Amino acid sequence: MSDVRKLIVIGGGPAGYAAALYAARANLDPLVIEGFQWGGQLMITSDVENYPGYADGVLGPEMMHDFRRQAERFGAEYLTDDVTRVDFSERPFRVWVGDDEHRAEAVIVATGATARQLGIESERRLQGRGVTYCAVCDAAFYRGKEVVVVGGGDSAMEEAVFTTKFADKVTVVHRRNEFRASQILEDRARENEKIELMTPYVVEDVLGDDKLTGVRLRHVETGEAQELAADGLFVAIGHDPTTALFLDWLDHEETGYLVTRPGTTETNVPGVFAAGDVQDHVYRQAVTAAGSGCMAALDAERFLAAQEGRLATALTAPRDEAGS
């Protein structure tokens, strides 16, 4: 068992590292249990062009290295492993990595979410080389090209319509004849001349060696296979928050997303905060995740200060370059 720390951050994506940066600069000496596969969803993203400050764009993994290094510069300590169990029943909170127990007065949960994958080997091989999970991030790379969007929910419809701003043709492939999407979004897709809806089809294989060239579809009812040439495959079949370890302790939605008090990162357990995609199924952007990581660090600092009967420096210091 280790000494009680002020703060443990669980998760190593934009939210976790931003929380660690702010917490380290507020002298909270955070331990970041960043996960064995740290970096989050950006590690399977190629170019990131919508993160403010990178005027020429940046590779997703490179950006996560930068995030990580920046928090480390101010003293964030990393444990590159997965949390296996937590106990939030009382303070200090307890967090285990295997048999090793870590304790802290405050915890920030920033374990993110994972885009659902089709689960095909070729899909994995061509990730970042035509296969993508975020149309908002990547659609602009497909100007004048042909794209397949797979999925039948609101995300698929919204992403298909958004992608037509750039691509010449967008084919939505869905496994059932009925769409799960709300009627208004389905109608919007149906009315768009650049969009073709193909049902009921599943994507059976992703074609291409170094770069995606198309997909092989199979008709669900007839079993007939068909190849479709494409430059991009946008997988939009939903996300799963990484919250299994926390569900016994923290309020959550039916879908597993953690619930925070509106306008804050506070969970139902005082001293436990949630930031990033783990509590946001709407925006899901690196910049919004980083923003909520910053909020969580400020919330944690204020909480710890209140426990110690002092004012939080983050809230009392001027909000300029000398500030928090």
Catalytic residue check, 138:
yes
Q: Which residue among 45, 155, 260, 279 contacts ligand NAP (CB under 6 A)?
A: 155
82 interacts with ligand NAP by CB under 6 A? no
Q: Which residue among 60, 92, 130, 152 contacts ligand NAP (CB under 6 A)?
A: 152
- Among 82, 87, 100, 134, the active-site one is 134
Q: Which residue among 29, 47, 77, 154 contacts ligand NAP (CB under 6 A)?
A: 154
Q: Which residue among 103, 129, 175, 216 contacts ligand NAP (CB under 6 A)?
A: 175
91 interacts with ligand NAP by CB under 6 A? no
Residues 278-307 that bind ligand NAP (CB under 6 A): 281
- Among 3, 66, 137, 187, the active-site one is 137
How far is it, in rounded angstroms, from Cα 280 to Cα 239?
Answer: 11
Q: Which residue among 34, 138, 158, 266 contacts ligand NAP (CB under 6 A)?
A: 158
241 interacts with ligand NAP by CB under 6 A? no
Q: Which residue among 13, 40, 92, 151 contacts ligand NAP (CB under 6 A)?
A: 151
186 interacts with ligand NAP by CB under 6 A? no
216 interacts with ligand NAP by CB under 6 A? no
Indicate which residues carry an active-site annotation. 134, 137-138
Binding site for ligand NAP (CB under 6 A): 116, 118, 150-156, 158, 175-176, 180, 237-238, 281
